[in-house]
């Protein structure tokens, strides 16, 4: 039998499921999916996904590790929670999507130039810098995330919206200089570092 | 009509009857046309005073037959419950005023309707006698249970608990049937998480210690004759020893055979590592909690695939078209055998639709998922013997891809075939046709119509799944468990209890001469006038319940205990010699004739509706309650079953000037709703031949219509009546109004 | 009625000069009229919303909300936490529930918090302002404060996602929650019946990263409001408000529509109906002006 065949055979062993259960947020729910497809039909971006949650769960059970972790599907989640409230098996699907996305990003397997991934990372970096979101910097970073010239173009496109927000006092150019943040910067960052440290230790344990 | 009949007619003027109808006129009609000896009116007939008024006349010996002109016979049955008197109810409320508009124009035709119903009631009662039990009753309180599996054992124990003695016949040398071959069974109690003991030993112990239960092992039933309350049964051992025992009722729990997996050639059934579910049970029993080993080389199984719906739910040649119900839960249970022994075993259940019926089914499914059983929606196309184990080709239906994969073991979830004995309705083999296999009879009934219980579909014994489960077309014989329909152990045990209860009811009722379902409690039974009988055998052939045997000269021999009192024999009889004390060709025929027939030029047609008392007539009552109006030209007569309709009634009605006739009966065929199973179907066949009569009389075909209706057809039945009225208006009045 | 006090979590977008500062201003006015005192959680931090997941793993994200809860426990021990932002509420409530369910996560979270000298007991209710209004006041009491009924205005109640799912307002259905419609009615305005896109997702944070897909959905949300004859749209969520309001020009350009419909907060409506002026009601915060509300506020 061919090497390809061996690979396909290996895919249908349930090791990847165990990996997901151990490492992905709410991943131990994946095995409880009963493949009804209600999530797929309830997703507002259902048409835009390469794989619906239903398929992702099946792929995990079929051991399709690379395909799952490099999928852009979970990055299409808008966090509308429609799948969660409709799932007859009460799987926390939204959280599993977030968990898969995070896990893929962490392993460096997520698709290149995935816009939501970039934005989500920008958002996290932005908020963890001072403890509060700086909307102006977040917006500018977003526009410039694909390089300087793209950024200028995008900024021009969005100019009227920015102006509208400014005149409505809902955008403050002075934020560029620093803006809001928590007072206890040291404690805040120590807490996040500690949380990350605990989580990394758990992942290392499984890796061994 | 030999004895003196004193008719009393009682007219109620309550419930608006007095406002809408001229009750004095009704009394007059009862007296003059109905020949009532005595008539009375009451403004509240069902009240204590009204009932006492009637009872006083009965007690005084003034009346022997009474006609109540009030509400439907289906209403106020507790109030109008008189003993030792023949009674008929004419339906002036639901049948007349509630279906007619309260207008001046409608008043005349509404009154005519009521007048006719009074005439009809008086005519009917004149031809009725008080029914008395027949003299053939026996009272044997013992119950026979045929088949000693989980179902039969449960039936026996339940009947014994209720105080009845039971004979339990089992063809094998031990009790337990298929369940005894199971390592464990699906749990039937919360938390529905793991397989439980198969339960056979516990039941067998209960039976062994029960003085009311006699077990006949290695035995079969070689002859069954008689009727409820007096069955005579030959029980024979393999060696040929026969004992004859008497029983009051029978529960047949003959179970099922597994589908022959060797027919599924695409799945390499010859391979030792491809087994069916019972095969896997044997492996699990052998392992007894340890690692299950595959048959070919005794290697501990590390990966196993369960193929659901193997040869089932498929229209392919040789496959079963139906779902066997238990197999999904059984595979889930078997997958747990592996997970319990070694949680790292790859266990995949491949299904197209997973079905886990019952209260705990879903929980059991979830429990397997929690244990790591993988459920894959896919279709297996082929299993070939691979180098390292069976190689399975399947299409993953969610991921839409074709996959090949090796497993150590493949389990085929095949279906159930009922052990229902001989199909008595099977066409006889054509001459020269080779008979490959003769099924062995289970009951060997000494009945005119054949050795075993009639079947409905796919060989399962006939029972109405929803309305009357366990009931067969052989009164006093009940089927339970997978012989009746595919089911799991829990359902079979429920079934067993239900069938035992029905059997007890049959024993008690038949001893008093009372009918079983659906005319429970009816004392009347059919009898025939031998001097008029032409030995045509129609009654013996058409009886849906095999109640009538034939004597050596071909005359019918009634077994009243087996009779359900539907009157199909009466409807069948071409010479009209069959009748019941209170239901006969005359009791209906005279009603038809009693109607006042206006002449052709009055432009008042008369329509006859013969309505089944089980569904059609109640539906008409409900139409009335919902104030659905219908034509005032119709005269409705309830009949026990459309099967009891004798074509002479149609001929007579046409001859006496009726302009249209409607037969309203239940749904027939595979999904029948006929309470007597075949009655409606037989009526339809008979009526398909009524065209000859019509053409002889040179009448239009449209004048007679036969309809299948349901109890819910509250709008449709009035519509059928109104359409007939329109039809008559179109084609004109009948010329036979003399 | 006695003054009601809550431990208030305003969230990043309600900060001065941020995108939903108008929500905070109108909420403050509304609360003054209802005699509600909002005690801001001292030194609160961002909740990471629902989009923080790429960078933040489960525990760092839980730690963020846990810090806010711990600070609230310290500062306002007897008060429920109340948020106006849907994402703030959701993230905080989710954290509360997940820590309740898992002793391990609770221990790990406290381990992280201890690095900031904090500890969470997790015994607080986490509530959305809409819950406070409906449950602690009720429609009748809310209606009693109306000074200027919003007569003649037809309003589409756009509930959106995160105030509705997965938690929602008690007693409401996920598929057709009625509380905004009832609130609109309470204020004397006319709710759009059977608003088809009431709980449709606007794209949330993906309005930034996947603008085309999001605007396609926003177009339907606005279109359905027009179909129902709406003069304006009301929403309880800052992301909903922003997404549905600010992209109307871009949508018009792309789809040839002529959308120009104001999108306001329930607090905007209540502030106006309770007789507060345009400034207190933050009507100047509308990019698409709510002229009918301005007319009433200026009366």
| pLDDT higher than 50, residue A9 | no
Cβ distance of C58 and A125 shorter than 8 Å: no
* A157 vs C215, residue with greater confidence: C215
Are A95 and A126 members of one domain?
no
Tell me: pLDDT of A4 over 60.
Answer: no
Residue contact A118–C209, C-beta within 8 A? yes
Are C113 and C187 contained in the same domain?
no
- What pLDDT does residue B153 have? 98
Q: Are residues A25 and A42 located together in one domain of the fold?
A: yes
SS3 assignment, position B242 = strand
Q: Which segment of B302-316, B432-446, B468-482, B507-521 scores lowest on mean pLDDT?
A: B432-446
Report residue A13's pLDDT band, with 50, 70 and 90 as the boundaries. Answer: low
Average pLDDT value for residue range C88-114: 97
* Number of structural domains chain A divides into: 2
Residues A85 and A150 placed together within one structural domain of the fold: no
Last residue of a domain, one of B96, B130, B164: B130
Say if residue A9 is in the same domain as residue A107: yes
ipTM: 0.94
Nearest Cα neighbor of B535 from B520, B555, B519, B514 is: B555
Per-residue pLDDT, A205? 61
Tell me, yes or no, whether B97 and B193 share the same domain. Answer: no
Q: How many domains does chain C have?
A: 2
Answer yes or no: is B79 within a domain.
yes
Residue A27 has pLDDT above 80, yes or no: yes
Domain encompassing residue C268: 145-297
Task: Report pLDDT for A166.
Answer: 83
**Cα-based angle C291, C292, C295 (whole degrees, multiple of 5):** 85
C65 shares its domain with C186: no
Q: Which domain holds residue A98?
A: 3-111
Residues C257 and C189 in one domain: yes
Q: pLDDT class for A11, splitting at 50, 70, 90? A: very low
Residues B240 and B120 in one domain: no
Please indicate, yes or no, if residue B138 is contained in any of the structural domains: no
Q: Are strands B196-197 and B390-396 parallel, antiparallel or unpaired?
A: unpaired
Residue B402 belongs to some domain of the structure: yes
Q: Do C63 and A192 touch (CB under 8 A)?
A: yes
Clarify whether residues A99 and A19 are in a common domain: yes
Residue A187 sits at the chain C interface (C-beta within 8 Å): yes
A8 and A103 together in one domain? yes
A40 close to B (CB below 8 A): no
The answer to whether residue B615 scores a pLDDT higher than 90 is yes
User: B272-310: buried (b, 16+ CB within 10 Å) or exposed (e) per residue?
Assistant: ebbbbbebbbebbeebeeeebbbbeeeeebbbbbbbbbb
DSSP H/E element including B691: helix B690-696
> At residue A8, does pLDDT exceed 50?
no
The answer to whether C65 faces chain A, any CB pair under 8 Å, is no
Q: What is the tens place of the pLDDT at every residue in B323-371?
A: 999 999 999 999 999 999 999 999 999 999 999 998 899 999 999 999 9
In this predicted structure, the answer to whether residue A142 has a pLDDT above a threshold of 90 is: no
- Is C134 inside any structural domain? no
What burial class does residue B459 get, using C-beta atoms within 10 Å of its C-beta: 0-12 exposed, 13-18 middle, 19+ buried? middle
- The string of pLDDT tens digits covering residues B542-587 is 999 999 999 999 999 999 999 999 999 999 999 999 999 999 999 9
Q: Please say if the pLDDT value at position C33 is more than 70.
A: yes
Q: Residue B84 is part of which domain span?
A: 1-130
Last residue of a domain, one of A59, A91, A111: A111
- My answer on whether C45 and C187 are in the same domain is no
Q: Does some domain include residue B587?
A: no
Res A14: pLDDT: 54
Domain match, B290 and B385 both? yes
Rg (CA), chain C: 19
> Is residue C140 included in any domain, yes or no?
no
**Share in percent of chain B as helix, strand, coil (round to 5):** 30, 20, 45
Residue B511 reports pLDDT greater than 60? yes
Q: Please give the tally of structural domains in chain B.
A: 5
Give domain status of residue C139, yes or no. no
Shared-domain flag, residues B176 and B289: no
pLDDT in tens, B36-45: 999 999 999 9
Q: Retrieve residue B624's tokens.
A: 């009335």
B289, pLDDT greater than 80: yes
The enclosing domain of C62 has a CATH number of 1.20.1050.140
Is there a single domain that holds both residue B334 and residue B476? no
By mean pLDDT, which of A8-12, B470-474, B682-686, C133-137 is the weakest? A8-12
Single out the residue of A13, A28, A8, A35 nearest to residue B378, CA to CA: A35
- Average pLDDT value over all residues in chain C: 96
Task: Indicate whether B54 and B11 sit together in one domain.
Answer: yes
CB atoms within 10 A of CB B705: 17
B410: left (phi over 0), alpha (psi -120 to 50) or beta: beta
The candidate with the shortest Cα–Cα distance to B683, out of B572, B556, B575, B541, is B572
Same domain (yes/no): B425, B534: no
DSSP run (H or E) holding C239: helix C238-246
Q: Are residues B193 and B224 in the same domain?
A: yes
Task: Return the CATH number at A84.
Answer: 1.10.1060.10
**A17 with A106, same domain?**
yes
Looking at the domain assignment, is residue C80 inside a domain? yes
Predicted TM-score of the model (pTM)? 0.88
In chain C, residues with a C-beta closer than 8 Å to the C-beta of A49 are none
Q: Would residue C135 count as lying in a domain?
A: no
Which of B346, B365, B398 lies nearest to residue A13, judging by beta carbons?
B346
Q: Both C159 and C218 in a single domain?
A: yes
Residue recorded with tokens 């005794």 = B298
Measured in angstroms, the CA of A105 and the nearest CA of chain B are apart by 24
Domain boundary residue, one of A111, A127, A148: A111
Residue C137 lies in a domain: no
- Nearest chain C CA: its distance from A13 CA (Å): 27
Of A46, A76, A111, which residue sits at a domain end?
A: A111
Inside any domain, residue B425:
yes
Q: Are the beta carbons of A71 and A51 closer than 8 angstroms?
A: yes
Banded pLDDT at A7 (limits 50, 70, 90): very low
User: CA C55 to CA A118: how far, in whole Å?
Assistant: 10
Omega of the bond prior to C186 within 30 degrees of 0, cis?
Answer: no
Are both A14 and A106 inside the same structural domain? yes
What's the confidence (pLDDT) of residue B1?
43
- The chain-wide mean pLDDT, for chain B, equals 95
| CATH assignment at residue B665 | 3.40.50
Q: Is residue B516 part of a domain?
A: no
User: What mean pLDDT do residues C9-15 have?
Assistant: 94
In this structure, the answer to whether residues C219 and C275 fall within a common structural domain is yes
How high is the pLDDT of residue A174? 79
CATH number for B499: 3.50.50.60
Does A136 share its domain with A58? no
For residues C161 and A80, is the Cβ–Cβ distance under 8 A?
Answer: yes
Query: Do B329 and B398 share a structural domain?
Result: yes
Half-sphere exposure of B552 (CA within 13 A, CB side): 0
In a shared domain, residues A100 and A26:
yes
What distance, in Å, lies between the first and last C-alpha atoms of chain C?
A: 28
Q: Do residue C85 and residue C31 come from a single domain?
A: yes
Average pLDDT of span B183-194? 96
Phi-psi label, residue C119: left if phi above 0, alpha if psi -120 to 50, beta otherwise: beta
Is residue C84, in this structure, part of any structural domain at all? Answer: yes
Partner C contacted by A198 (CB < 8 A):
yes
Q: Are residues A19 and A95 in the same domain?
A: yes
Chains contacting A (3+ CB pairs below 8 angstroms): B, C
pLDDT for B118 equals 98
Same domain as B425, residue B407: no
Same domain, B265 and B407: yes
Same domain? A47 vs A21: yes
């Amino acid at each position: 039998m061919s090497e390809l065949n061996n690979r396909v055979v290996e895919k249908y062993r349930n090791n990847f499921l165990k990996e997901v259960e151990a490492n992905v947020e709410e991943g131990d729910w994946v095995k409880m999916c009963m493949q009804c497809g209600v999530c797929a039909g309830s997703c507002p971006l259902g048409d835009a996904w390469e794989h619906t949650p239903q398929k992702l769960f099946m792929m995990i059970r079929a051991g399709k590790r690379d395909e799952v972790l490099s999928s852009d599907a979970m990055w299409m989640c808008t966090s509308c929670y429609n799948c969660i409230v409709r799932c007859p098996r009460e799987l926390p699907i939204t959280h599993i999507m977030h968990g898969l996305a995070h896990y893929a990003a962490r392993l460096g397997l997520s698709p290149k130039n995935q816009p939501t991934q970039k934005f989500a990372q920008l958002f996290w970096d932005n908020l963890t810098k001072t403890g509060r979101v700086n909307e102006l910097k977040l917006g500018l970073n977003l526009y410039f995330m694909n390089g300087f010239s793209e950024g200028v173009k995008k900024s021009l496109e969005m100019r009227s919206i920015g102006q509208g927000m400014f005149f409505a006092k809902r955008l403050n150019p002075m934020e560029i200089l620093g803006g809001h943040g928590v007072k206890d910067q040291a404690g805040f960052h120590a807490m996040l570092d500690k949380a990350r440290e605990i989580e990394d230790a758990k992942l290392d344990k499984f890796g061994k | 009509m030999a004895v003196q009949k004193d008719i009393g007619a009682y007219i109620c003027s309550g419930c608006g009857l007095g406002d809408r109808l001229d009750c004095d006129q009704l009394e007059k009609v009862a007296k003059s046309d109905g020949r009532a000896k005595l008539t009375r009116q009451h403004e509240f007939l069902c009240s204590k005073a009204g009932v006492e008024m009637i009872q006083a006349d009965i007690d005084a010996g003034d009346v022997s037959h009474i006609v109540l002109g009030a509400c439907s016979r289906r209403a106020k049955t507790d109030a109008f419950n008189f003993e030792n008197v023949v009674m008929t109810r004419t339906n002036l409320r639901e049948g007349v005023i509630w279906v007619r508009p309260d207008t001046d124009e409608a008043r005349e035709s509404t009154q005519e309707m009521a007048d006719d119903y009074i005439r009809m009631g008086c005519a009917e009662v004149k031809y009725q006698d008080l029914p008395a039990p027949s003299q053939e009753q026996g009272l044997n309180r013992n119950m026979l249970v045929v088949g000693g599996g989980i179902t039969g054992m449960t039936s026996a124990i339940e009947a014994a608990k209720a105080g009845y003695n039971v004979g339990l016949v089992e063809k094998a040398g031990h009790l337990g049937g298929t369940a005894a071959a199971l390592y464990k069974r699906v749990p039937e109690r919360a938390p529905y998480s793991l397989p439980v003991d198969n339960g056979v030993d516990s039941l067998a112990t209960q039976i062994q210690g029960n003085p009311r239960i006699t077990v006949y092992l290695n035995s079969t039933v070689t002859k069954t004759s008689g009727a409820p309350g007096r069955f005579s049964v030959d029980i024979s051992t393999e060696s040929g020893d026969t004992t004859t025992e008497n029983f009051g009722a029978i529960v047949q729990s003959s179970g099922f055979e597994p589908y022959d997996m060797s027919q599924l050639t695409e799945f390499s059934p010859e391979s030792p590592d491809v087994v069916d579910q019972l095969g896997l049970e044997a492996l699990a029993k052998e392992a007894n909690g340890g690692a299950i080993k595959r048959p070919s080389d005794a290697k501990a199984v590390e990966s196993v695939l369960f193929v659901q719906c193997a040869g089932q739910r498929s229209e392919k040649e040789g496959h079963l078209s139906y779902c066997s119900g238990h197999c999904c839960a059984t595979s889930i249970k078997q997958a747990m055998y592996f997970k319990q022994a070694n949680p790292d075993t790859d266990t995949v259940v491949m299904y197209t639709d997973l079905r886990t019926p019952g209260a705990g089914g879903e929980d059991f499914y979830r429990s397997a998922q929690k244990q790591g059983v993988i459920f894959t929606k896919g279709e297996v196309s082929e299993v070939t013997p691979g180098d390292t184990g069976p190689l399975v080709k399947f299409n993953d239906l969610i991921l839409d891809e074709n996959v090949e994969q090796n497993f150590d073991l493949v389990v085929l979830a095949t279906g159930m075939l009922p052990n229902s004995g001989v199909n008595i309705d099977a066409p006889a083999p054509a001459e020269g046709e080779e008979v490959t296999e003769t099924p062995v009879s289970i009951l060997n009934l000494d009945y005119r119509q054949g050795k075993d219980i009639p079947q409905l579909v796919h060989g399962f014994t006939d029972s109405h799944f929803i309305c009357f489960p366990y009931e067969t077309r052989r009164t006093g014989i009940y089927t339970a468990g997978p012989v009746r329909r595919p089911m799991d152990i829990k359902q079979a045990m429920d079934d067993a209890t239900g069938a035992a209860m029905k059997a007890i009811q049959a024993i008690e009722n038949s001893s008093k001469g009372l009918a079983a379902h659906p005319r429970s409690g009816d004392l009347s039974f059919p009898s025939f006038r031998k001097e008029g009988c032409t030995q045509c055998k129609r009654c013996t052939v058409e009886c849906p319940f095999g109640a009538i045997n034939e004597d050596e000269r071909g005359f019918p021999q009634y077994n009243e205990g087996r009779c359900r009192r539907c009157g199909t024999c009466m409807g069948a009889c071409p010479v009209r010699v069959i009748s019941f004390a209170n239901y006969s060709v005359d009791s209906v025929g005279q009603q038809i004739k009693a109607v006042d027939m206006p002449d052709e030029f009055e432009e008042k047609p008369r329509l006859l509706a013969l309505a089944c008392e089980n569904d059609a007539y109640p539906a008409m009552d409900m139409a009335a309650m919902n104030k659905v109006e219908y034509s005032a030209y119709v005269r409705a007569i309830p009949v026990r079953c459309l099967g009891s309709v004798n074509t002479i009634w149609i001929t007579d009605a046409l001859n006496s000037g009726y302009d249209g006739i409607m037969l309203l009966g239940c749904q027939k065929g595979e999904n029948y709703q006929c309470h007597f199973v075949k009655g409606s179907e037989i009526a339809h066949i008979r009526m398909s031949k009524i065209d000859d009569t019509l053409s002889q009389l040179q009448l239009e075909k449209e004048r007679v219509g036969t309809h299948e209706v349901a109890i819910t057809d509250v709008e449709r039945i009035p519509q059928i009546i109104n359409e007939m009225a329109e039809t008559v208006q179109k084609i004109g009045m009948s010329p036979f109004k003399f | 009625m006695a003054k009601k006090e809550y431990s208030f979590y305003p969230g990043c977008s309600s900060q001065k000069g941020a995108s939903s500062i108008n929500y905070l201003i109108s909420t403050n006015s509304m609360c003054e009229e209802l005699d509600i005192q909002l005690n801001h959680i001292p030194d609160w931090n961002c909740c990471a919303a629902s989009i923080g997941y790429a960078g933040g793993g489960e525990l760092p994200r839980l730690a963020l909300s846990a810090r806010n809860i711990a600070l609230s426990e310290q500062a306002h021990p007897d008060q429920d936490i109340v948020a106006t932002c849907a994402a703030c509420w959701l993230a905080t409530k989710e954290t509360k529930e997940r820590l309740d369910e898992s002793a391990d996560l609770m221990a790990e979270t406290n381990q992280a918090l201890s690095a900031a000298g904090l500890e969470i007991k997790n015994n607080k209710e986490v509530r959305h302002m809409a819950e406070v209004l409906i449950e602690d006041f009720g429609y009748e009491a809310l209606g009693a404060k109306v000074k200027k009924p919003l007569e003649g205005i037809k309003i589409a109640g756009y509930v959106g996602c995160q105030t509705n799912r997965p938690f929602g307002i008690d007693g409401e259905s996920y598929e057709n929650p009625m509380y905004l419609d009832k609130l609109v009615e309470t204020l004397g305005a006319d709710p759009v019946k059977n608003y088809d896109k009431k709980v449709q997702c606007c794209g949330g944070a993906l309005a930034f990263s996947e603008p085309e897909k999001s605007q396609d959905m926003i177009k339907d949300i606005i279109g359905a409001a027009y179909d129902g004859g709406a003069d304006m749209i009301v929403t309880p969520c800052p992301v909903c408000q922003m997404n549905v309001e600010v992209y109307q020009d871009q949508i018009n350009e792309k789809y040839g529509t002529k959308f120009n419909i104001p999108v306001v907060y329930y607090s905007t409506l209540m502030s106006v109906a309770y007789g507060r002026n345009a400034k207190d009601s933050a009507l100047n915060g509308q990019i698409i002006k709510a002229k009918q509300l301005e007319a009433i506020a200026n009366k």
